[in-house]
Each structure stands twice: as C-alpha cells, then as structure tokens.
Amino acid sequence: MSGRAHLMWDQAVTAYDFGPEHPMDPVRLALTMRLVEELGIDKAVDVVAAPAAGESTLRLVHRQDYIDAVRRASEAPAEADPSYGLGTVDDPAFVGMHEASALIAGQSVAAAESVWDGRAVHAVNFAGGLHHAMPGAASGFCVYNDAALAIARLLELGVERVAYVDVDVHHGDGVQAAFWDDPRVLTISVHEHPSTLFPQTGWPEETGGSGAEGQAVNVALPAGTGDAGWLRAFHAVVPELLASWGPQVLVSQHGADTHAEDPLAHLAVSLDAQRAVMETCHALAHEHADGRWLALGGGGYAVVDVVPRSWAHLCAISAGHPVLPATEVPESWRAEALRRTGQQAPYRMTDGRDASWADWDAGYDPGSPLDRAVRAARRTAFPAHGLLP
C-alpha cells in the first residue's frame, strides 16, 4: 500500500443536479471539497479523478434497458420514462444525467480498485453513496448505485468477502437488493425505522435470500434516536459481525442525514457522533480487513451546517490526520458558504456533544424502544453467523 489515502474528486460531479428546488443541492459537494482544502486535508491525501464508469461496469449491477432509459432521459429530459423511476419528483431528469451519474460511479469503482490493489490504504468518494438506485430503476435521488457497483467490481476482481456498513438515516435498500442472494457480501444498515421514513424497507426480518441467510442485517431505530442510542446500536451490532465475518474489504456509507438538523428525517444525531462512527469504521477496517476501507458519502440535506463538516471529518480520518473537534471553521470558508447559499455557517468542527454510549454488555432494557430494535436485529441475523443474540 502507498500509505496514503485517495480522495476521489472531479469538479464535474457537481453536474449531478436535480434542479434548484430539489433538496440534493450539489453545492454540498463543492462546499465539502472547499472545506477539505481550507483545512489542508487535501495535502495529506492523493486527490484523484477517475473516468466515468463505462457500460460494461454499469452492467455489473444495472440492467441494459435501464441504462438505455437513463441515456434517453439524459438527452431528452421531458421524455423520461417514469416506469424506470426517471422524471419523478424524487429523480427529475436533467440534461447530462447519465454522464454525471456515471462519473460519480466511476469514482467509487476506481476507489475500490485502488484499495484492493494496494495503491491506496483507504479511499473516499463523498460524492458517492447513492444507495437507493435499483438494478432497473432510479430511486430516492439515486440514478446509478455507485456503492453496489464498487462492491460488484471487487467481487469481479476476486474478493471473496466484502462488508458493507451503511449509517445513512435511510435504509440502504439498493445495495441490499443487489446482493440479496450473494453470500460473499454482508450488508449492515443502521437507519431510521421504515414505519416512519422512506424507503419503508429495512425491517430486521430482512436477512438475505436463499444461500445468503444472515447476510443482510437491518437495525431499524425509532424516530428521535440521539447520539447515545445511535452509537449504542452501532456498537451492539457492527463490530461483532465484522469480527465474525472477517471481510477482506470494508465499504461504508456515511450519509449525513442522521443529523438532528437534517430536514428530511427524524433522528437527532450530532456531528460528533457521526465523527465517532467514522473513527470506528477506520479502526474496524484495520482490525478486520487489513486496512482496506472505501468510505462513501450519501444523503445529507443540511448543506451548510452539517454535510461539509461531516465529510471533511471523513476525509481527514481516512487520511490519518483527523481534525480535532474544537478546530475553528476557517473564516474564508464561512464567507464562501454565505456567498453561495445565503446561510451562516458554523464556527467550529463540532456540535459540542459528548459522543458516548452505554455498551450493550452493560445490560438490555426491555422497556427501551432502542434496545428492542437492537435486540430484533441481533435475534434475526446473529445466529446465522454463529453468534449469540
């Protein structure tokens, strides 16, 4: 390994733009990269731009008829076919949709390749993590599923065990679906309960298809869960499964929409808890995957207050040069954020929270909805891995 992380970045990924009224504003990507530069994180990584994913790569996950539909919508948005999830409220068609989506996918695929062949110790594509896209349809702001494509490429290269850990507030349904019957992939999603949030999947009973029982793990958390509960749930499930599974590569998705200020969901997690999970994923990659770690972005719609700080921390942690929470946000970046969005930006790289939790071994509380959610996930998935629930 080179000893340095790869940060995948091409300014052209900001062309992934559903329009001015859509919550997934590409300014979140531009502001993240600008904050990375202002904090000097880019000096500790290799900034790499990869080509767009070609059709043979896209077909590792997506159907040819769907790729063709995306191409047609990309050329003539008004003629997008909603039977493919295109031209909808969530996924409006836009000129250049195929090219921008394939470019984001190409960054994640190239990042996976660099981690597997040793050119990079870790890799980050914060423009990626588009985990809702299905093999034959766009969904939930996602056109091509770069996370699933990166995993499929790893399998094509001969990797036998990939772990995918998704901590976006929404269930990682597209990645789960892509590998539902594949025993080589372990998908773990920690998300808001499907009874209160899109995509209404990710129930603990969803545990994998025939021959892959126990390979899908879903931790569905009650709305309102805050730092202590979110961290307790993560640590009660993820480390034990990874230790048992022994992945050769860890792929993680770090949607920032778990945050209390996110306008599209109902958890109450802080930036400090998000950072703590990033650090844990980094450590778990070294403990169980020889350090091979691909980290992706995902959701996140507080585009000034939360997303840039969260993903700047992710980049810094992957670089081995974490940014201290008390670090001041550069005034020049705050001015840029104000100029571009009209919003005042935070002053520090922290929400001032203590990211602590009670360990699962400290005891189970049957009266706690959080503990019942964790217990449900452990009961349905752990026995297939020889673990006690």
In the 8-state DSSP scheme, what is residue 124?
E
Collapsed DSSP state (helix, strand, coil) of residue 66: helix
Q: For residue 361, what are the contacts with CB-CB under 8 A and spacing of at least 6?
A: none
Q: How far apart are CA 24 and CA 299, in angstroms?
A: 8
Which residue numbers are catalytic? 132
Write out the DSSP string of 255-273.
Answer: -GGGBTT-TT---BB-HHH
